[in-house]
């Protein structure tokens, strides 16, 4: 799996970009991708502060949290991150003026600058509510789902390998799997009463079924990726 570094950018780094950061980090866990995700703001308003209380509340409602400390976007970010993801068109246009992100610096320099709303379903642009400390809580709730759907499409656009883990649904299921494995071990012992036979280098030939204890895992095809992401 390719390793990527993503930075979400909004104006103050207190509402939409830390929310996108937390959402994307959660999707990374569920899709078994190992990307580095961060967020920053173009202004100095909230440097050193936590994200806005409404942002943190919405994340808690979905079982997420954020330990992010608001910071300002820098030239070092342009050099370090593979993708700079603007949270709205105003931020996108302002980022186009930064050295290393404008179209005049080279044929591929603007490839790392992305607009999150461009990753709508079926290739269409999505609508993401603009967030600020004066926006009502219901707008934060709507923006959460809008941002999440765009983050899913962003992942799918990268054509990365997504692995789905199928863990036992309960302790009983896990015990059943362990029981079946134990029965197979007893059958093998009946066939060979002397126990496991040593290999050529003198070590015992013991089979360890990792899937029995950690669940099954499978790499998803393109259609399965879309169905799996839609269910997240």
Helix pair angle (222-231, 137-157), 10° resolution: 170
Q: What is the pLDDT along the chain (232 residues), one digit of tens a residue?
A: 478 999 999 999 999 999 999 999 999 999 989 999 999 999 999 999 999 999 999 999 999 999 999 999 999 999 999 999 999 999 999 999 998 886 544 444 458 999 999 999 888 999 999 999 999 999 999 999 999 999 999 999 998 888 887 766 555 554 555 555 554 554 444 555 444 444 444 444 434 344 444 567 788 888 888 898 999 8
Q: Where are the domains of the chain?
A: 5-157, 168-214
Which runs of consecutive H residues, i.e. helices, occur in 69-170?
Answer: 75-80, 89-95, 137-157
Report the chain's terminal Cα–Cα distance, integer Å: 20
Looking at residue 163, its pLDDT comes to 85
The secondary structure element, H or E, covering residue 210 is helix 210-214
Q: What is the pLDDT of residues 130-182, one digit of tens each?
A: 999 999 999 999 999 999 999 999 999 998 888 887 766 555 554 555 555 55
- Looking at residue 82, the DSSP 8-state letter turns out to be S
Looking at residue 17, its pLDDT comes to 98
Looking at residue 101, its pLDDT comes to 85
For the four alpha carbons of 91, 13, 58 and 63, in that order, the dihedral sign comes to: positive
Looking at residue 204, its pLDDT comes to 41
Closest CA to 229 of 58, 78, 31: 31
Interior angle at CA 137, CA 131 and CA 142, nearest 5: 65
Looking at residue 164, its pLDDT comes to 83
Q: Which CATH superfamily, name and number, covers 5-157?
A: Response regulator (3.40.50.2300)
């Amino acid at each position: 799996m390719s390793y990527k570094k993503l930075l979400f950018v909004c104006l103050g780094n207190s509402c939409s970009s830390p929310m996108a950061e937390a959402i994307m980090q959660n999707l990374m866990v569920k899709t078994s991708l190992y990307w580095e995700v961060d967020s920053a703001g173009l202004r100095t308003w909230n440097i050193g502060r936590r994200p806005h209380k409404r942002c943190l509340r919405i994340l808690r409602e979905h079982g997420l949290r954020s330990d992010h400390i608001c910071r300002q976007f820098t030239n070092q970010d342009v050099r370090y991150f593979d993708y700079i993801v603007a949270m709205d068109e105003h931020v996108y246009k302002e980022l186009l003026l930064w050295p290393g992100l404008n179209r005049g610096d080279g044929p591929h320099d603007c490839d790392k600058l992305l607009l999150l709303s461009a990753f709508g379903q079926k290739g269409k642009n999505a609508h993401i509510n603009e967030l600020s400390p004066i926006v009502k809580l219901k707008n934060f709730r709507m923006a959460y789902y809008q941002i999440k759907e765009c983050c899913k499409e962003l992942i799918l656009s990268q054509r990365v390998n997504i692995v789905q883990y199928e863990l036992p649904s309960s302790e009983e299921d896990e015990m059943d799997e362990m029981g079946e494995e134990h029965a197979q071990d007893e059958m093998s012992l009946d066939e060979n009463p002397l126990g496991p036979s040593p290999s050529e280098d003198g070590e015992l030939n013991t089979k360890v079924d990792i899937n029995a204890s950690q669940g099954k895992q499978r790499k998803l095809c393109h259609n399965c990726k879309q169905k799996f992401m839609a269910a997240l």
